[in-house]
Amino acid sequence: MNHSALPLIVLATALAGCASDRPRLETGTTYQVEWIGERPLIDRSHLTITLGDDNRAYGNAGCNHWFASYELKGDTLTFGAAGSTRKLCAPALMEQEQRFLEALDKVQRWDISPIDQLRLWPAEGKPIRLWPVEG
């Protein structure tokens, strides 16, 4: 073995290990929405996204439960038309829920921010920002 190549092998192995430690989008994990585009959520409102293994997404939209199909290929993520239950809540919660469902329809890709936050990006504008829900 060429001993001058040994440091490069060690470095490559270390970098490969680091790359696998990077957070990634997980099916079956529930994510809590923190921001929709340019606006944070209303205090104490609860919006979630779970991507099922069956290409069905679902969660809580703040007032109602929502569901949609989704397609995930690499860093591309798109949602089908979302449906939801039909409860009525306070007008501000209903407006936020509508903004969330409209934002889902515009998602085209995802990434992980430098602070390990999941971001769902539309073609234009600010992303939906989410955190994984702990256990």
**In a 3-state reduction of DSSP, which class is residue 80?**
coil
- 26-132 maps to CATH 3.30.365.10: no
Report CA-CA distances (Å) from 95 to 22, 35, 38, 39, 53: 35, 14, 14, 12, 30
The per-residue pLDDT for range 67-89, each reduced to its tens digit, is: 999 999 999 999 999 999 999 99
To the question of pTM greater than 0.85 for the whole model, the response is: no
Residue 100 phi/psi, 5-degree rounding, is -65, -50
Work out the mean pLDDT of the chain and round it to a whole number. Answer: 87
124: amino acid identity, one letter: E
The per-residue pLDDT for range 16-59, each reduced to its tens digit, is: 444 445 567 889 999 999 999 999 999 989 999 999 999 999 99
